Structure 1
Amino acid sequence: MNLVWERLTLSSLPLKEYLEGSYLHRLVVGILKPWRQSSILMQWGDTIAALLLSLVYGFAPFASSSLILVLLVATIGFWFLLTLCDDTAAVNVPFVTPIHFLVLLYWLVAAVATALSPVKSAALKDLAVLSLYILLFFVCARVLRFSRFRSWLITVYLHISLIVSVYGIRQWFFGADALATWVDPESPLSKTTRVYSYLGNPNLLAGYLIAAVALSLVAIFAWQGWIRKALSLTMFFVNTACLVLTYSRGGWIGLVVALLAAAMLLVYWWSVDFNPFWRTWSLVIMAGSLIGVLLLAIIFVEPVRLRVMSIFADRQDSSNNFRRNVWDAVFKMIGDRPIIGIGPGHNSFNKIYPLYQQPKYTALSAYSIFLEVAVEMGFVGLGCFLWLVFITFNTAFTQMQRLRELRNLEGLWIIGAIAALLGMLAHGLVDTVWYRPEINTIWWLMVALVASYWRPVNKTGDR
């Protein structure tokens, strides 16, 4: 049984031995090492990479998708140069983790789906974009191995999200023009302001802020000093308030999942210091309290009640009806190409979906990331994606427990990453804003954050 679990989690995968025996690794990594030793610029290579990543996450909510992609190209290009200059003999922390292996496998499945796509030219364009996000993970995983860069990038994201949230709350007080029909026109909430800040869409804003809420909650405990704790507390309440004011039902689902996960993991983290009673009942009390607050909000806050009840209105709500009709077409698309899909990306989807859509129900995506992966890369791609998620969470829990035993507060950031990933996946059940650059970059940052803590299992089973 243990052997099956090790194979499933890849915990016994000989990654280091594979790299040492890989001809490609020997020929490529480190071939420019002599130049790096004589170059003042490249001696600061990891710092420069961290600054380039700061530009990506600093501009993401404000810039166009094209500019974000340009920044990604620049960052990845510098990472390639840095890899060619690496001194492999001086590296103590492994570059490759089981998460890296699954991310690469996910890309390979996408490449096969592109090769077999009925619309190859469209799929190829989106494979190029997907490749940038995959490579962004590799850059982040490298840079985040250093605790100072990890702290810096988390701080950059939290400060940027605070700016975004403050502007979103300002829209709530002073009003904001709806850029589309985001609420059922026949709903009592049809005149309600749904904030969207700099991102132009309330659902997109909600998806962007889920990770910010999770990380700012964790920062309250991870950051030292009352000033920093007060700042993190402010970030948490402002980000949460702004996310609530988006009135994004999927965003609310993600928020509840992220908060429940973060709260329960934080209680678990500190439970070693509890007496027997609180060690037994603290998780139950915490979960019950959060659920109780949610129920009180549904009962006594009318806008929240109406918005939550619309989730269960099925086709009587126009948004629900729209999604149901899109999903009906998507299921037919999956049924026709169940193994490897139509090819990755919205360009492929836009070419094929009109052949299946019901009249007047045009769509740019499947409105569910799990259905989107299935339609783009078939059940092979969906299985690979779920395996990647499983490996990521297994790694996160394992490393969190290791750091918990050491009482190392760095492990709190893993709790934030777990909560953020769970919240984004919960939101992704009913929406596909996950594919937008503003959110996809955050997703890979969280996955890389988990990967940066990975340690190999030695022969005695210690980590």
Structure 2
Amino acid sequence: MSRDDPGSVLLSFDARAAQGKRVAYMAVYALGAFAIINQGLGVTFLNPIANVWGVFPVFALAWAAMVRRAHGVERSQPAWAKYAWWYVVYTLALVLADLKHPVLALNAWTVDVEYIFVGLLVPLALDAEDTLKLFYGVIAMSMLMGVDGWFQFLIKVPIPSQWLDVGEHVRTRVFTVMKSPAEFGANLELTLPLMLGLFAVDQDKRRRRVYLVGAFVALGALFMTYDRGSWLGLFAAAVVVSAAFERRLLPVLGGIAALGLCVPSLRHRALDLLNPVYFVKSSAGGRMALWQQAFDVMSRNPLFGSGLGYYGGYVATSHSFSAFSDNYYAKVLGETGILGLVLFMAMHVAIVREMIRCVRRSTGGSRLLALGGLTGITAILIHSFVENLFEYNYTASLYYLLVGLLFTWGRSLPEADETRSRWRKARMSDE
């Protein structure tokens, strides 16, 4: 076949587009194993790049998307992308406006928006038929960490005293390769519902068994974190999603909650939230006091806030500007003002709305996967009221990665009109 032969040219285009997809695969797997890779780099001579290597998978996804587009494979961005771009541009404008400390502001901007690009790029770099295999690779990392969590619990791994309330006694709090139980809990509350959804939709029997066993392991590990924010996030999200779309699951959730409360240490940690002393301490110098501080900081410049890097987050604390806000929305409000918080919330509301559309368009096993995705996303958004989750590289990368994969998978679902037609035919056949 000659070089000028159209068939040869088309084959070359297909090969290059496939090469872009292979690069995207590697980037997705690397982001799915973010915590494990980071820990591995940290104990080797590559330790200096442990905190910056995450940018390389982002660039790899961008390259894969450009290669595919250049060779005729065009994919549209999800509907929430416009809100994401507004937030990215707005926060970049705040960086450019900070003439006193531009490097500090740029560092804070990178922490805030780096992994948003993952969610935007995955649908451009991959196809719907790729997603089940990629889900398996990504979720398997959480299963491995779940097993490690059980191991930590069995050997009673030592933990800092500040991880426990005064007078509290527990065997240990598991955190696996992450920095805290809250980070590990966030990972599990995001992936656990997806394990159950993938068990319902995946046709491979071996993977189905792995998902089912992994879900039980992850649920046990989630309890062993003793992280109330993770428990609250997942349980509240599961109740809301079930009440809205699948009420048959509510008794199951009630049973799991009752089983957890039968364990004295779990019951004590959960019910301690209802203790009036907890609220007094929290208001005096705990989370509630920090949340009030966010409003005080924002009130000095209500629309634009104090500027990136000056309040409530990693960069601000490392420069002694403030303490952690322990509420990502309070952090966004203090740093970027009312306008920044509105744009940030609009982006995530759009993500939730798109997932609800996936639920309404899906049937059978696909519906359970869509419900699992919606539950995990909602759990992270609820948990973020009590933790700076989106500042954790492990959490932010996984959240936006799974958002991107879910919307890529959603392309395989029928449009709303076609779904309604299927339901009508099913009802007519039943009658």
TM-score range, shorter chain: 0.7 to 0.9
Residue 128 of structure 1: how far off its partner (Å): 2.8
Task: Determine if the alignment matches structure 1 residue 199 to structure 2 residue 184.
Answer: no
Post-superposition CA distance 1:248-269 (Å, at most 9, x none): 010111221344356557x74x
Residue 129 of structure 1: how far off its partner (Å): 3.6
Amino acid paired to 1:344 = L
Post-superposition CA distance 1:226-251 (Å, at most 9, x none): 43332211111100100110100101
Post-superposition CA distance 1:171-193 (Å, at most 9, x none): 11111111451012x2232x541
What pairs with 1:170-185 in structure 2 (closer than 5 Å)?
170-179=151-160, 181-184=162-165
Aligned-partner Cα distance in 1 for 2:183–2:314: 20
Amino acid paired to 2:343 = C
Residue aligning to 1:74: 56
Task: Determine if the alignment matches structure 1 residue 127 to structure 2 residue 106.
Answer: no
Aligned-partner Cα distance in 2 for 1:58–1:86: 25
Residue aligning to 1:301: 263
Residue aligning to 1:327: 291
Post-superposition CA distance 1:321-379 (Å, at most 9, x none): 4223322322211222221222335355337874xx6xxxxx2x210121112112111
SS of 1:60's partner is: helix
Listed as ranges, the gaps of 5+ residues in structure 2 are: 1-8, 43-47, 420-431
Residue aligning to 1:187: 167
Post-superposition CA distance 1:99-131 (Å, at most 9, x none): 111111111121123234474431111213434
Residue 454 of structure 1: how far off its partner (Å): 5.8
Mean alpha-carbon deviation: is it higher for 320-329 or for 215-224? 320-329
Task: Determine if the alignment matches structure 1 residue 163 to structure 2 residue 162.
Answer: no
User: What TM-score do the two structures reach when normalised by structure 1?
Assistant: 0.76
Residue 411 of structure 1: how far off its partner (Å): 4.6
Residue 80 of structure 1: how far off its partner (Å): 3.6
Aligned-partner Cα distance in 2 for 1:352–1:72: 23
Among 333, 343, 346, the alignment partner of 2:307 is 343
- Say whether the 8 Å CA contact 1:95–1:142 is kept in structure 2: yes
Residue 415 of structure 1: how far off its partner (Å): 2.0
Among 391, 396, 417, the alignment partner of 2:373 is 417
- Say whether the 8 Å CA contact 1:36–1:42 is kept in structure 2: no
Residue aligning to 2:21: 46
Residue aligning to 2:233: 254
Aligned-partner Cα distance in 1 for 2:199–2:342: 36
Aligned-partner Cα distance in 2 for 1:351–1:98: 36
Residue aligning to 1:215: 194
C-alpha spacing 1:90/1:439, structure 2 compared with 1 (3 Å): same
What pairs with 1:62-461 in structure 2 (closer than 5 Å)?
62-64=37-39, 67=49, 70-87=52-69, 90-91=72-73, 94-117=75-98, 119-148=101-130, 150-179=131-160, 181-184=162-165, 186-189=166-169, 191-260=170-239, 263=242, 268=246, 283=247, 286-295=249-258, 297-298=260-261, 300-313=262-275, 315-316=277-278, 321-345=285-309, 346=313, 348-350=315-317, 354=321, 363=323, 365-404=324-363, 409-453=365-409
Identity %, equivalent residues: 18
User: What TM-score do the two structures reach when normalised by structure 2?
Assistant: 0.81
- Say whether the 8 Å CA contact 1:55–1:71 is kept in structure 2: no
Aligned-partner Cα distance in 1 for 2:329–2:339: 12
Aligned-partner Cα distance in 1 for 2:252–2:112: 41
Residue 403 of structure 1: how far off its partner (Å): 2.8
Residue 168 of structure 1: how far off its partner (Å): 0.8
SS of 1:187's partner is: coil
Amino acid paired to 1:337 = N
C-alpha spacing 1:343/1:147, structure 2 compared with 1 (3 Å): farther
SS of 2:172's partner is: coil
Mean alpha-carbon deviation: is it higher for 384-393 or for 220-229? 220-229
C-alpha spacing 1:455/1:344, structure 2 compared with 1 (3 Å): farther
Aligned-partner Cα distance in 2 for 1:199–1:294: 26
Amino acid paired to 1:47 = R
Post-superposition CA distance 1:287-340 (Å, at most 9, x none): 244235424543x32212210122123554767742233223222112222212
Residue 39 of structure 1: how far off its partner (Å): 9.7
- Say whether the 8 Å CA contact 1:395–1:454 is kept in structure 2: no
Aligned-partner Cα distance in 2 for 1:289–1:462: 32
- Say whether the 8 Å CA contact 1:207–1:434 is kept in structure 2: no
- Say whether the 8 Å CA contact 1:424–1:434 is kept in structure 2: no
Mean alpha-carbon deviation: is it higher for 56-65 or for 237-246? 56-65
Residue 214 of structure 1: how far off its partner (Å): 1.1
C-alpha spacing 1:328/1:35, structure 2 compared with 1 (3 Å): farther
- Say whether the 8 Å CA contact 1:165–1:238 is kept in structure 2: yes
Residue aligning to 2:45: none
C-alpha spacing 1:208/1:347, structure 2 compared with 1 (3 Å): closer
Listed as ranges, the gaps of 5+ residues in structure 1 are: 1-33, 269-282, 358-362
Among 6, 9, 32, the alignment partner of 1:57 is 32
